[in-house]
Amino acid sequence: MSLGDIITFAIEIAFTLATIFIIVKALTLRRALVDRPYRARALWSAIGASSLIALISTGPVDAVFGNNPTTLIPLVAEAAVYGWLFLGIYGWIIVNNDVTLAADFLNRDALSWRKGGRILSSVVWVATYVIINLPPWWFPASGAVAAAMNFFANVVSSFIFFGVAGYGGAVLYISYKRVNDLRIKTYTRWVVLSIVALLVGILATFITPEVFIIFGIPFIYCMYKSVGSLAIRTHTLTV
């Protein structure tokens, strides 16, 4: 193992420990929160933070099982870690959008989220995840179908991932700008910044896997600030 690999491994461990601290803090805070929507926010803040651990885990999983597994156990392992990343991120975005839109006194919609954008984007997101994780033995090993599936898995799915996540993030940003409650606004601002840092970090990994380190630090910081600003109405409980 080279010096660079040792440094990268140490940074990944540090990121994982910092993320676990944020997760514990969010789940502890969830016990103290009074209102159900904010309890949901605390839960999904923990899940959203864990997306960084999922992102870090994709490297070792890909190294062990390969990017295109052909047997059951590797396929399940790849599907699990990418499902954690895929479904965790968008569930986190959905919950925050719903709560932030509900906090708008004028009850305005943003980018048709309530008119169908929420459902449509969720269906597209889940369908994309399912398609790229279908067992390869369901399809021919070569030919037009195999080429189409490979193109979808490697190119189209990436555009869908960033497009849907970007749409959800844009809805959250617009609704954040319309909220007057300063506590909710502060929390949502840190969530928006967390989403941006995570998505840019994931995009940067297409250049080189080590680049995510640059964006892991702001993501952790923004998540820490968002969880810290979530205590809006709480029971008497030490967090």
pLDDT in tens, 100-122: 898 888 889 999 999 999 999 99
Residue 19: per-residue pLDDT: 94
Residue 6: per-residue pLDDT: 81
Higher pLDDT, 226 or 238: 226
Residue 171 has pLDDT above 90, yes or no: yes
Q: Give φ, ψ of 111 to 5 degrees.
A: 55, 40
Residue 228 has pLDDT above 90, yes or no: no
- List, as one string, the DSSP characters of the chain: --HHHHHHHHHHHHHHHHHHHHHHHHHHHHHHB-SHHHHHHHHHHHHHHHHHHHHHHHHHHHHHH-SS--SHHHHHHHHHHHHHHHHHHHHHHHHHHHHHHHT-TT---STTIIIIIHHHHHHHHHHHHHHHTS-GGGS-SSSHHHHHHHHIIIIIHHHHHHHHHHHHHHHHHHHHHH---HHHHHHHHHHHHHHHHHHHHHHHTTT-GGGHHHHHHHHHHHHHHHHHT--SSB-S---
Residue 220 has pLDDT above 90, yes or no: yes
In angstroms, the CA 127 to CA 133 distance is 10
Residue 236: per-residue pLDDT: 47
Residues 3-228, CATH architecture:
Up-down Bundle (1.20)
When the pLDDT of each residue in the chain is averaged and rounded to a whole number, the result is: 85
Name the pLDDT band for 237 (thresholds 50, 70, 90).
very low
pLDDT in tens, 20-72: 999 999 999 888 887 788 888 889 999 999 988 988 888 888 888 877 777 88
pLDDT in tens, 129-170: 888 888 887 777 777 877 888 888 878 888 999 999 999 999
pLDDT in tens, 79-108: 899 888 888 888 899 999 998 898 888 889
